[in-house]
Structure 1
Amino acid sequence: MDPTVIARLQSSLDALADDDDSRAHFSALFYTALFAEHPLYRSLFPAGMESQGHRFVTAIEFVVKNLPQQRRIRKFLTQLGLDHRRYGVEREHYRAAGVAMRRAVKSMHGTSAHSRYKWTPELEEAWSEFTEFVVSTMAEGAESDTTPALWGGTVVSHERVLDDLAIVRLETDPPIPYGAGQYVGVQVPQRPRMWRYYSPAIPTNPFGQLEFHVRKVSGGWVSPAIVTETNVGDQWVMSTPLGGLEVDFTHDRDVLMIGSGTGIAPLRAQVMEMSQRAQNPRVHLFVGGRYPCDLYDLETLWHISLSNPWLTVVPVSEEAENPWWHSGPALEPPFGMHSRLTGPIGRVVARFGSWADRQIQISGSPSMIKTTIYALRAGGTPIDQILHDPLY
C-alpha cells in the first residue's frame, strides 16, 4: 500500500477514534449499517455487543497503525479470518462488512463532534482500498485452512488457586494444533454464544491436554462463570488457534518476556516447550502482579528455572505486602533465584536498561501492555522489537 495512502488512513483514524466515546460511536455506526442492510446477520453475533464492538475497533486500529509492516498485518488478518469461521462467516459476509465500514467512516467524518477532517474523494479512495485489502485478506485466510473451525474439550479438573482465579484443565479429541504462545476462542456451557480468548498455559501434546488460567473480571459475564461455576465433565467449545507470540530461533538474540497476572500463560507455555530443546537463547522472564499472592504460579516457574540455566525468573509485585484478607504465607525464593522486586512491572523492567538487543514479548491486561510499552520506549527500547497480541 502506498505510503501516502497509509499516512492518510492513519490521520483519519486518529481523528475518528481519538477517545473511548468516539471508538464506541464508530463501532455502533458500523454494526448499525451492517444490520440495517442485512438484518439476518445479527444472529451471527452475541446478544451483548459491547466487547464485540471493542474488539472490532481494536483490530482496525492495530491494522491501520501497523500497515507498513505488511507481512505482520497479513498474518494477523489471515488468522482473524480463520477465527471468524466459528461464526459461519463466508465471503459475502466480508463484502457486506467492507461496505458497512466505509459507511461508518464516512458518517464519522461527517459528524462535527467526532471529526477534525472533512470527507474528501482522496479519503474515500484510501478507505475503499483499505477495506478491500482487509476483507479480501480475511476471506482468503478463512478459505485457506481445511482444519475444523471448532474443537470440543471436556473439563477434567477445576482448581481455585485464589478466590478470584482458577486453573482449568481439559482434554480434547483430536488435539488442537496450537503453538505455544497462541490463544484460542473459548465458549463455555454456562454462557452460550459468548466467546472469550484464553491462552493455553502448556505446550500442545498428543494427548489433547489443555490448561487455562482464568481470573474473574469484575462485572464480566464469562470469567466469573468459569471461576465459580465450572464443573468436571463440562463440554467447552474452542476455535482456531491465533496469535503471534513466539521466539524466533533463527536469530541469535536473547529473549525478554514480561507477563502479569494470568498473562503469564502464553509465556509459561513457551518456556515449558523450550525446556524440551537442547539449546536455547537466554530468557529473562518478569512475572508481575499487584500483590505477592498474585504471583500464583511462581513455584512452577522456579522449578523450570532450576533445571534450565538459560531461564531467569524475576518476580515483581506492585505492593510490598499481601492484602489483609490473604492469610497464606509469602513465598520465599529457592537458593539462587531472583528475589522479588516492587513497583509497576514496566518501570521495574525498564530500570535494567533498554533491552535493545532482545526479542521482547509482553502479555497481560491492555492497560499493563500499554504502560509497559511506554516505559520500555522511554528507556530506549525499539518498538519494532516488542511483540504483543492486539486482541488477547
Structure 2
Amino acid sequence: MTVYFYAILFTRYPQVRDLFPVDMDVQRDRLLRGLLRIIELVDDPQRLVQFCALLGRDHRKFGAVEAHYPAVGECLLAALARYAGAAWSPEMAHAWTRAYNTAAQVMVLAAQDDSRLRPATWQAEVVGHVPRGHGIAEITVRPDQPYPYAAGQYVSMQTPWRPRAWRHYSPANARRPDNTLTFHVRAVAGGTVSSALVHHAAVGDIVQLGPPQGNMSLDAAEDRDLVCVAGGTGLAPIRAILEDAARTGIRRYVDLFIGARTAEELYGLDDMLRMAQRQHWLSVRAAVSHQHIVGREGTLPQVLREFGPWDQHEAFLCGPPAMVTEAVHSLIRGGIHPARIHHDPLDTPVLNTPLAPARHSQESAPQ
C-alpha cells in the first residue's frame, strides 16, 4: 500500500519528490507506522492531537508546507481504497477523509505556531572532529544562530553526503557560551549517515540541525537521587545531564553505570571518573559483558541489580535498545515506578515519543 501511495504521489505531483530521500524504504515504513499510531490513538483525542502536532512541527525541517497536504490526502485515500478492496465503502471513505483532514489541520496549525518561535532548521559548521577509537568520532558543530535546548535532549541531523536522510544524535554537553554542540557518533555497519560523519566529515563541513526533541532532562527528576545507565555512545545525553547538574549545583547523589562489551570499548569512562573526582555527589561504576577483567563483569542490567535499592530514585537510561529495555524491566522489578524511568524513544523518535498524560496522573496509575 505504501509503495503504491508514493508511486501515485510522485506521478501526480512530481514537484514533491525532492522533499523525500532517494532510498524510500525507511520512509515507507514510517508512513505505515504513523498511520497505525493515528488509528491507535483515535479514541484518545488529547493524545492524538499531541501526536499530530508533533508530526506537524517535525515536518517543517522536510520543507512541508500547507499546500502539500491536500495532495498527500488525495493519494493516501486512493491507496487505501485500492488495497481495502470490497471493504471500502462510501462511509469508510467519508470517515478516512474526515480523519485525514483533521490530522492535517492539526499538523498545519502546529507548524505555523512553531514557525513563530524558531527556524525550521539550523545550519551548523563542523568546528571539531576527533576520532575516539572503535568507530566513534567526537564531532563539534557551531550553529549559525542560537540553538536553545535542554541537556539530555536529542537532535535530528542532515548531512551533505546523504541529503534528506535525517538521523538523531544527542549532544554530549550542556549549553555553552559559544553555542557549540558536541556529538558522539558511532559508525554503524551499513549506516551511510553515521559512517560519513565518522570517516569523511571534516572541519568546515556544513550540516543541518532540526529542532531539539525529547523530555529526558534534569527537570524531570524532581528532588530524588538519580541512577543513570549508559551503554556505548548512549553516554552522551547522560554526560550532558551531569554536566548541567554540576553547573547548577545539584544537591542530590548520582550513581552512574557505564557498560560495554570489552574494557577497550568503555567509551568515555575516564572523563566521567575525572568528573567524579571533582564532584562528591557522583559515583561511577563500569561493567563489561564479553571479557574477563578485574572488576565488574556482566551486562549493565545484571550489574545494576547488584546495587541499590533504587526504589526511591529517578532513573535516566540511554544506549542500545535491548540494553535499555532490559534495564527498565530490572528497575521496575526493583521498585521504581515506570513514571520515574526516563529514556529516549527506542526507534524513530517522532513516531514513538511517549504521549503520556500529566505527571501527577502517571504517579497514580500503573503502566
Q: Which amino acid aligns with 1:294?
A: E
Partner of 1:52: 27
Separation in 2, partners of 1:142, 1:75: 13
Q: Give the whole-Å Cα distance in 1 for the aligned partners of 2:98 and 2:292.
A: 54
The RMSD of aligned alpha carbons is: 3.6
Specify whether residues 291 and 183 from structure 1 end up closer, same or farther in structure 2 by C-alpha distance, changes over 3 A only. same
Residue 331 (structure 2) pairs with residue 389 (structure 1): no
Contact 2:287 2:296 in 1 (8 A): yes
**How far apart in 2 are the matches of 1:121 and 1:375?**
50
Determine helix, strand or coil for the equivalent of 1:360.
strand
Partner residue of 1:246?
Answer: 217
- In the alignment, is residue 139 of structure 1 matched against residue 139 of structure 2? no
Bigger mean CA deviation after superposition, 382-391 or 199-208: 382-391
Q: TM-score, normalised by structure 1?
A: 0.73
Distance 2:159 2:94 in 1: 42
Task: Tell me by how many angstroms 1:131 deviates.
Answer: 4.9
Bigger mean CA deviation after superposition, 277-286 or 157-166? 277-286
For the structure 1 residues 72 and 248, does the alpha-carbon distance in structure 2 shift closer, same or farther, using more than 3 Å as the test? farther
Are residues 307 and 355 of structure 1, via their aligned partners in 2, closer, same or farther at CA, if it must alter by over 3 Å?
same
Instruction: State the Cα deviation string for residues 16-73 of structure 1 (Å, max 9, x = none).
Output: xxxxxxxxxx654654565465443222100012333444455566677688998777
* Aligned equivalents of 1:61, 1:347: Cα separation in 2: 35
CA distance in 2, matches of 1:347, 1:230: 37
Tell me what 1:85 maps to: 60
Alignment of 1:1-392 (within 5 A): 27-28=2-3, 31-32=6-7, 34-35=9-10, 38-57=13-32, 77-94=52-69, 96-97=71-72, 131=100, 134-145=103-114, 146=116, 147-248=118-219, 251-321=222-292, 341-352=296-307, 355-379=310-334, 381-390=336-345, 391-392=348-349
- For residues 98-143 of structure 1, the C-alpha deviation after alignment (integer angstroms, 9 at most, x for no partner) is 56666667777769xxxxxx88999989877765564444322211
Seen in structure 2, the aligned counterparts of structure 1 residues 257 and 35 have a Cα distance that, compared at 3 Å, is: farther
Distance 2:23 2:204 in 1: 27
**Equivalent pairs: percent with the same residue?**
34
The 2-side partners of 1:298 and 1:150 are apart by 33
SS in 2 for 1:314: strand
Contact 2:157 2:207 (8 Å CA) reproduced: yes
Name the amino acid aligned to 2:108: A
Q: Which segments of 5 or more consecutive residues in structure 2 lack a partner in the other structure? A: 350-367
Change in CA separation of 1:203 and 1:109 when aligned onto 2, cut-off 3 Å: farther
5+ long unaligned stretches in structure 1: 1-25, 112-117, 323-338
Task: Give the alignment's TM-score, normalised by structure 2.
Answer: 0.78
Contact 1:175 1:206 in 2 (8 A): no
For residue 23 of structure 1, what is the aligned residue in structure 2? Answer: none
Give the distance between the partners of 2:29 and 2:105, measured in 1 at CA.
22
Residue type of the alignment partner of 2:203 = V
Separation in 2, partners of 1:375, 1:385: 13
SS of the equivalent of 1:225 reads: helix
How far is the alpha carbon of 1:89 from its aligned partner?
A: 0.7
Q: Structure 1 residue 307: deviation in Å?
A: 2.2
- C-alpha change, 1:370 and 1:63, in structure 2 (3 Å) is farther
Q: State whether residues 286 and 315 of structure 1, in contact with CA within 8 Å, keep that contact through their aligned partners in structure 2.
A: yes
Aligned residues: 345
CA deviation after TM superposition for structure 1 residue 353, in Å: 6.1
